[in-house]
Amino acid sequence: MTPTYYLLLSALLFTIGAVGVLVRRNAIVVFMCIELMLNAVNLTLVTFARINGTLDGQVMAFFVMVVAAAEVVVGLAIITSIFRTRRTASVDDANLLKY
């Protein structure tokens, strides 16, 4: 077994996250699917760091984690404020920009 299997697992996780973004309607679940995609990319970065023998991939994964934390804070604040005004967390109902 080589670390390539981690890349395969990461690809599958990324795909599942992408499908979730396309399929689910709850904004919070869509957001969780984006988190899953970020995690899959992190696994890829860590595995490539191991394959290449340098730590740069791990540092990049670390930055991805920091950016994901900031993104979660802002995104959940946006979802909360949308829920306050529209009383819903569904992505179908936030259609004000459509018209």
Partner 1 sequence: MIVLAQAAGAVSTGEAITFWILGPIALAGALGMIFVRNAVHSALMLILTMFCLAVFYIVGQAPFLGFVQIIVYTGAVMMLFLFVLMLVGRDSSDSVVEVLRGQRLAGLALGVGLAVLLVGSIGGSLSAVTPVGLDAGGANGNGNVTGIGRLLFTRYLFAFELTSALLITAALGAMVLTMGMSRGQLKPGQRATVQARLRGEHDRISPLPGPGVFATGNSVAVPAVLPDGSIAPESISAIIDATPAEVIDEHPVDPHALTAGTDPARSAADPSGKSR
In the region spanning residues 38 to 77, those forming contacts with partner 1, defined by CB under 8 A, are: 39, 42-43, 46-47, 49-56, 58-59, 61-63, 65-74, 76-77
| CB-nearer residue toward partner 1: 15 or 96 | 15
| Residue 97 C-beta: closest distance to partner 1, Å | 15
Q: Does 29 bind partner 1 (CB under 8 A)?
A: yes
Distance CA 33, CA 13 (A): 10
Q: Does 97 bind partner 1 (CB under 8 A)?
A: no
CA-wise closest residue to 29 among 94, 79, 68: 79
CA distances to 16, 21, 52, 60, 83 from 6, in Å = 15, 22, 14, 17, 38
* 3-class secondary-structure state, position 93: coil
Q: Does 86 bind partner 1 (CB under 8 A)?
A: no
| Residue 45 C-beta: closest distance to partner 1, Å | 9
